[in-house]
Structure 1
Amino acid sequence: MDFTNVVALVTGANRGLGREFTRQLLERGARVYAAARRPETIDAPGAVPLRLDVTDASSIAAAAAAAPDVTLLVNNAGILTNAPLISGDFDDVYQEMETNYFGTLRVTRAFAPVLESNGGGSILNVLSVLSWFHPAQMGAYSASKAAGWALSNAAREELASRNISVTSLHVGYMDTAMAATVTDPKNDPATVATTALDGLARGATEVLADDITRQVKANLSTAG
């Protein structure tokens, strides 16, 4: 992929990994729509701020209409409530699935025709090592990311005939506001963004961004 020919839209682009995707895509020569619920918080010079709330269908439709030249969609927006599935607040559980799964699906459905109309393109879905490893204390988040993995795999097959590729990014904890209370080792979001974009450039369908993710994925076939 030659990023100088890419027009990207990044959701959740105002902080953390989304900000890094925006910055690095611009550095690689892409044009970038930086999407967020509050576009006034976008601080990447050269990016085009765009209002987009992945839980609001009308917001998504307006964004798709405002960005008709997109050829790369980065589904990065997400939330973490730390809700267990059984004992956690049900509203928190619902909100995680609504944002992390249905939000990604809504944006993908809205932008697939845009990508197709521009001759095809690519979708990058930001997932997690918790797509495959499901600790009880993060049950809601794990369920949403497991569903996101299924979404990525099914959408890849469905969209292939429309010349649209789908890549999933899996990574452990990152040093962002979302994981501010985590004391375990964390990845630098700049390194994760670089790894993901390099994988996208070479046509990878799946990017495993750190050692723990590679280890968990490798052990799937032996899990009992």
Structure 2
Amino acid sequence: MKIQGSVALVTGANRGLGAAFVEGLLAAGASKVYAAARTPATVTVPGVIPVLLDVTRPDQIERVASELTDVNLLVNNAGIGEMGPILAPSSVEALRRQLETNAFGPLLLTQAFASTLASNQNSAVVNVLSALTWFTLPSASGAYSASKAAAWALSNALRQELSSQGTSLVAVHAGYIDTDLVRGIAAPKIAPAEVVRQTLAALEAGAPEVFADDTARHVHAGLTTKPPMYVGMGA
């Protein structure tokens, strides 16, 4: 798709990667950017239109989809991450919360906007996933990884169904992105603007996925090592 002249809706747009997406889209020539957040007043990027949206609220999703009928680019960026061992009793509720935001949210939004995307030419969906889609950190990322793995499977299914109406879907994978969320973690981090740059290039090129950094590329390659990376270091 062409970014120039597009009309985009970005979820989780008030900070971090979401704010970088709205800035990058404007710089690339998008004619209008809707910046969605649970608290629209926290959207501070000039030139965008703040929108009230909690992606775990189907009623808000339906309202936004009925109002924003000019959207031809949906960026499903909103997400949460909760770390902890999967054997902990609290992990069940943590998994439910993360599935609601990280998997069901993008699915419901894509369903709600599908007809709009079909009507508006040059349309696409971006789903922000993670390198942890394919790998689980020991005693830490079980629930988060499960939610992103579900979102990846849903992205692959949606890509196939959306293709019949001329809508493309790009899944974005990265390791640590240099935002407030991981500020205290000492590890290589990719700049949010670089993730956005690669994603917009993938949209223009019609690519189905983005492996934004060495971490994502390494973990994805580990799917086919022997033993595969996802079985764990002790296997």
TM-score (structure 2 length as normaliser):
0.91
State whether structure 2 residue 154 is matched by structure 1 residue 151.
yes
Deviations 1:145-193 (A, max 9, x none): 1111101111111111111111100000111122233222211111111
Q: CA RMSD in A?
A: 1.3
Distance 1:83 1:220 in 2: 23
Q: How much has 1:13 moved relative to structure 2?
A: 0.3
Partner of residue 62, structure 1:
63
Partner of residue 93, structure 2:
91
Partner of residue 108, structure 1:
110
Query: Which amino acid is the alignment partner of residue 177 of structure 2?
Result: M
Partner of residue 48, structure 2:
47
Distance 1:17 1:2 in 2: 21
Partner of residue 136, structure 2:
134
Aligned residues: 224
Query: Which amino acid is the alignment partner of residue 145 of structure 1?
Result: K
Q: How much has 1:120 moved relative to structure 2?
A: 5.4
Question: What SS does structure 2 have at the residue aligned with 1:113?
Answer: helix
Partner of residue 205, structure 1:
208
- Preserved contact between residue 3 and residue 200 of structure 2 (Cα < 8 Å): no
State whether structure 2 residue 2 is matched by structure 1 residue 2.
yes
Distance 1:80 1:26 in 2: 28
Deviations 1:106-154 (A, max 9, x none): 1111111110121351001000000111123111110011111101111
State whether structure 2 residue 105 is matched by structure 1 residue 121.
no
Greater shift after overlay, 13-22 or 214-223? 214-223
Gaps of 5+ in 1: none
Partner of residue 24, structure 1:
24
TM-score (structure 1 length as normaliser):
0.96
Query: Which amino acid is the alignment partner of residue 208 of structure 1?
Result: F
Q: In percent, how many aligned pairs have the same letter?
A: 49
Distance 1:100 1:181 in 2: 23
